[in-house]
Chains A and B, each alone.
Chain A
Amino acid sequence: MAIKQVMFTFPEHLIKEPIIYNLSQKFKIVPNIRRADVTENRGWIMLEMEGAEEEIERGIAWVQSQGVRVDPVVGDVVEG
C-alpha cells in the first residue's frame, strides 16, 4: 500500500461536484482531507490518498480528466 499527498485545485464549475466521494467510490482509495479552503467560486484541498500505487495513479488521472488540477503538496519543486 502506498500513501500519496496531493493538492487538488477546483475550478468554479466543479465546486458543487462530489469529486472526492466519486473518487473513493470508483477506485480503491481512502482519501483523507488534511486542509482545505473552498469558496463559492473556487477551492483547493490537500489530502492524503492511501491505496495501491497503481490505483492511486489511476484515481489521479481520473480526477484530472474531470478538470481538477493536481499538484504535489510541496508546490513546484523545479526552481530556477
Chain B
Amino acid sequence: MSYAKALRCRKCGREYPLEAMNLCDFCLSPLDVTYDYQQVAKVLTRENLDNAPLSMWRYRDLLPTDGNEVDLGTGYTPLVKAGNLGRRLGLDQLYIKNDCLTPTYSFKDRVVSVAMTKALEFGFETVACASTGNLAASVAAHAAKANLRACVFVPSDLELGKLVSAAIYNPTLVTVEGSYDDTNRLCAQLLQKYKWGFININLRPYYAEGSKTLAFEICQQLGWRAPDCVVSPAASGLLFTRIWKGLQEFSMLGLVGQVNTHMFVTQAAGSSPIVRAYEAGSVHINPVKPDTIARSIAIGNPADGYYALMVARQSGGGACAVTDDEAISGVKLLAETEGIFTEPAGGVVIGSLAKLAAQGIIKKDDLVVALITGAGPRTQEILTGIVKAYRVQPTTESVAEVLGASVK
C-alpha cells in the first residue's frame, strides 16, 4: 500500500487527487506527490532497509505506487570509491554513483519503472514519450514488460545506434520531421488529442519520484549519511531537485542526520540555461536553443529549471558548465581512471567536477558523490580518433619489435 496522499501544487499549495495530471489548474505550476510521512516513519527503518532486496523498489514506501511494480531489475547500482580519479582531481573522498548499470543503461529506468507502474494502475493502454535516446529505450523496454503499447517519438535525425536501442523492444517508433521545437509542440498537442499515458508529461509527478531512489541508495551505501557534495547533470532539472527531495525525506524520517549537502548542477555550455541563470544571479531561466553533443541533457527550456536553480542556491552548492571538448575529456578521464564508460552527460559531470575542485569550490576533504547517469556505448560516435592500435605480425618477435622495451 502506498503512503502517497495527494498531488500538491509546488507554487500555490492546492491539492489534487492522485490522478494522471501534472499541472495545477489554477496557476499552471507543476504538481508533486505528497506522502503521509508519519505513517512512513512507522514502517521505514534502517534495519528493514538493510535487509530488503537490492532493488530501487526497497524504497517503495516512499514511492507513489499501489500495484505490481513494472520492474526490469533496476537499482542498487554501485557507489564506487574513485581513488584514481580522486587523486587526479585532488579529492580524497570521491565516489561515483554508477547508474550506467541499469537494465537499459541509464538512470531513466528508475523514473520509467515508477511511471509505467502508475500507467498500469490508471488503466492506460498506450504509453508515450518524446526522446533523443535514453528515455525512448527505457519506455520501450518497460512497456514490453508491462504488455503496454509504447509510442515513442524521436527526432528524424537521431543516430542509428539510439534508434536500435529503442527499436529492439518493438515499440511504435515515430520519427518527427522538423526541429526540436516542432517535436516539443507536437507532443504537447498529442497529449490533448489522445488518452495516452505520456511518461514525462501527464505521468510526470510519479515519474519524478523514481529519481529519489538515487539519493536513497547513496545515503544507504555511504552507511546512512548524506554526502557533503553532490555533482549532478541537469536537463529538465528534475533529477537534481528529486535528489534533494530524497535527501530531505531521509533526514525527516531520521534515517540520516541533518542534510548539509551542497548541490552542484552541471550542464553542457551549449545548453546551459540553469547554469547561466545561476551565474547571472537571476531567478529567470532564459530558454535557449540546445547545441551540444551531450544530447541526453540538451533541454533548452527546462521544466524544473527554476526549482533546480533554487536547490543549487539554497544548499550552498553551485553551477558549472563545460564545453563539448571538456565533456569528451571528462568521458575519457573517467574511463582511463575508473574503468567506467559514460555518455557525454557523464563527461559534463566529470569536466565540471574537475573545474570545481581546481577552483577550490569543492574541497579536498569533502565527501563528494558524482552522478554518472548513462552509459557510453550508445553515443560512441562522439569519440573520434581514440583507436590507436599497434599493428603486429602473429609472432612474438613482431610484438617485441613493435612494442619494444615497453613489453616485459
Binding site for B on A (CB under 8 A): 5, 9, 34-35, 37, 39, 42, 44, 46, 48, 69, 71-80
Contacts and interface: CB of A to CB of B under 8 A. Distances in A.
23 contacts: A34-B27, A35-B29, A39-B284, A46-B27, A69-B287, A74-B204, A75-B236, A75-B302, A75-B305, A76-B236, A76-B301, A77-B184, A77-B198, A78-B180, A78-B187, A78-B299, A79-B200, A79-B299, A80-B131, A80-B132, A80-B135, A80-B295, A80-B299
Contacts of B23: 5, 73-74
Given A37-B284, A44-B284, A71-B184, A76 B28 contact: no
A76 B299 contact: yes
A30 to B, nearest CB: 16
A79 B298 CA distance: 8
Contact of A72 (B155, B185, B200): B185
A72 B184 contact: yes
B188 A34 contact: no
Interface string B65-106: 000000000000000000000000000000000000000000
B215 interface: no
Interface string B236-275: 1000000000000000000000000000000000000000
Given A42-B286, A79-B130, A80-B298, 19 more contacts: A35-B11, A35-B27, A37-B283, A42-B284, A44-B284, A48-B28, A71-B287, A74-B204, A74-B303, A75-B299, A76-B184, A76-B236, A77-B184, A77-B188, A77-B198, A78-B155, A78-B184, A79-B299, A80-B345
Tell me the dominant secondary structure on chain A's binding face: strand
Given A5-B28, A35-B11, A73-B28, A78 B287 contact: no
Interface of B: 11, 22-23, 26-29, 108, 129-135, 153, 155, 180, 183-185, 187-188, 198, 200-201, 204, 235-236, 283-284, 286-287, 295-305, 345, 374
